[in-house]
């Protein structure tokens, strides 16, 4: 398939996961911006390729050239909402055959039966690129502590254990630069070293429920001890089988005590978590699921009508002047 992706010039985990997976499946991806998987294309090239593309994928987040969509007659468009918010942020002036939502709330009521599907992050290939290390860290929680109060609660409880074999806090690294339009991630060797040495690693909700750490931990062969996520995930992990889930800080302490007292259980759950991830949550798996959902809505006149609005009177003129700059 020839797939045109209109994406953010800033690094976006969901876009990166999807593009890697589509390329792994052998599809041709033409992108509007630079990323770790594609090179930037001009407005003219994007518009030309879009007319003969099998699929047009329009993404969310900062700096996306959504105005290009106004000049695309090809009806095979889908929207990927990868924002941190559970509220929908769909470009309103185009009809999309399907909408994919990263933070799709478990209780969202699809009253109009629109073709809306969950699409969380996945484990990029780089997550598996690590040497074997001795598992000398009992448990770790490496995170930005400033974007969710629950994170600091867990950090404090780990700190109170006063155990040198438990790591909690920040490494001072940044996985990407929010203020710069660079479409690729930054290496975080300190964090990776801690993760690969950990027997248990903790995931706590950040700006959104879905975060890279949730997928990095099982990719490293480490047990995923995670706060419950209130989003829909296809083929979810199961607490006590291939991960361990907690809802409150007190339950976190209880689950961690259980795991620390039973190293064999930790190894069993960690191995099952890695296997489940490899079977269902690689970027290739995520892209295959994405295309299967797209295929369900190809052809015919079915669109996500709930998000569509007529263009304002001068909307088109503004876009034209924007392209002339």
- The structural domains of the chain, with segments of one domain joined by +, span 2-122+283-324, 125-280
The pLDDT of residue 92 is 94
Helix (H) / strand (E) containing 321: helix 315-324
Which stretches of the chain score pLDDT less than 70? 177-183, 313-325
Q: What is the CA radius of gyration of the chain?
A: 21
Asked if 260 contacts 198 with a C-beta cutoff of 8 angstroms, the reply is no
- Three-state DSSP class for 255? helix
b/e string for 144-167 if b means 16 or more Cβ within 10 A? ebeebeebeebbebbeebeeeebb
Q: Please return the burial class of 16, using the count of CB atoms within 10 Å of its CB with bins 0-12, 13-18 and 19+.
A: buried
Strands laid side by side in the 198-203 sheet: 166-169, 137-142, 198-203, 223-227, 244-246
- Four-residue CA torsion sign, 55, 15, 187, 129: negative
The pLDDT of residue 130 is 76
Asked if 6 contacts 63 with a C-beta cutoff of 8 angstroms, the reply is no
Superfamily of chain region 125-280: Glycogen Phosphorylase B; (3.40.50.2000)
Taking the C-alpha atoms of residue 253 and residue 259, their distance in angstroms, rounded to an integer, is 10
The pLDDT of residue 324 is 37
Question: Which residue has 């976006």 as its token pair?
Answer: 12
The pLDDT of residue 300 is 78
Domain at 2-122+283-324, CATH class? alpha beta
The pLDDT of residue 90 is 95
Please give the model's pTM, rounded to 2 decimal places.
Answer: 0.93
The pLDDT of residue 321 is 42
Question: Which residue has 């607490």 as its token pair?
Answer: 239
- Four-residue CA torsion sign, 226, 292, 207, 198: positive
The pLDDT of residue 221 is 96
Same fold, 2-122+283-324 and 125-280: yes
The pLDDT of residue 251 is 98
Taking the C-alpha atoms of residue 285 and residue 12, their distance in angstroms, rounded to an integer, is 18
- Three-state DSSP class for 245? strand
The pLDDT of residue 176 is 75
Phi-psi region of 41 (alpha: psi -120 to 50; beta: other; left: phi over 0): beta
Asked if 99 contacts 116 with a C-beta cutoff of 8 angstroms, the reply is yes
The pLDDT of residue 27 is 97
The pLDDT of residue 318 is 46
């Amino acid at each position: 398939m020839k797939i045109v992706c209109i994406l953010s010039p800033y690094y976006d985990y969901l876009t990166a996961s999807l593009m890697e997976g589509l390329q792994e499946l052998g599809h041709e991806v033409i992108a509007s911006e630079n990323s770790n998987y594609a090179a930037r294309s001009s407005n003219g090239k994007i518009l030309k390729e879009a007319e003969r593309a099998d699929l047009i994928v329009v993404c969310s987040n900062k700096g996306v050239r959504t105005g290009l969509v106004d000049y695309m007659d090809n009806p095979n468009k889908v929207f990927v909402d990868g924002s941190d918010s559970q509220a929908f942020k769909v470009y309103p002036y185009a009809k999309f055959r399907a909408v994919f939502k990263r933070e799709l709330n478990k209780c969202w009521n699809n009253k109009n039966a629109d073709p809306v599907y969950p699409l969380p992050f996945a484990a990029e290939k780089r997550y598996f690129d690590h040497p074997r290390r001795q598992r000398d860290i009992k448990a770790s929680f490496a995170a930005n502590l400033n974007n969710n109060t629950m994170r600091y609660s867990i950090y404090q409880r780990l700190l109170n254990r006063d155990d040198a074999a438990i790591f909690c806090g920040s490494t001072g690294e940044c996985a990407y630069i929010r203020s710069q339009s660079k479409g690729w991630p930054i290496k975080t060797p300190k964090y990776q070293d801690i993760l690969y040495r950990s027997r248990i690693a903790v995931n706590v909700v950040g700006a959104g429920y879905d975060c890279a750490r949730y997928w990095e931990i099982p990719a490293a062969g480490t047990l995923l001890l995670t706060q419950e996520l209130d989003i829909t995930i296809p083929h979810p992990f199961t607490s006590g089988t291939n991960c361990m889930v907690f809802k409150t800080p007190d339950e976190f302490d209880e689950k961690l005590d259980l795991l620390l007292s039973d190293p064999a259980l930790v190894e069993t759950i960690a191995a099952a978590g890695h296997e489940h991830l490899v079977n269902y949550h690689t970027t290739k798996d995520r892209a295959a699921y994405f295309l299967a959902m797209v295929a369900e809505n190809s052809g015919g006149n079915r669109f996500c009508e709930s998000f569509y609005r007529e263009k304002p009177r001068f909307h088109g003129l503004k876009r034209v002047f924007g392209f002339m700059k």
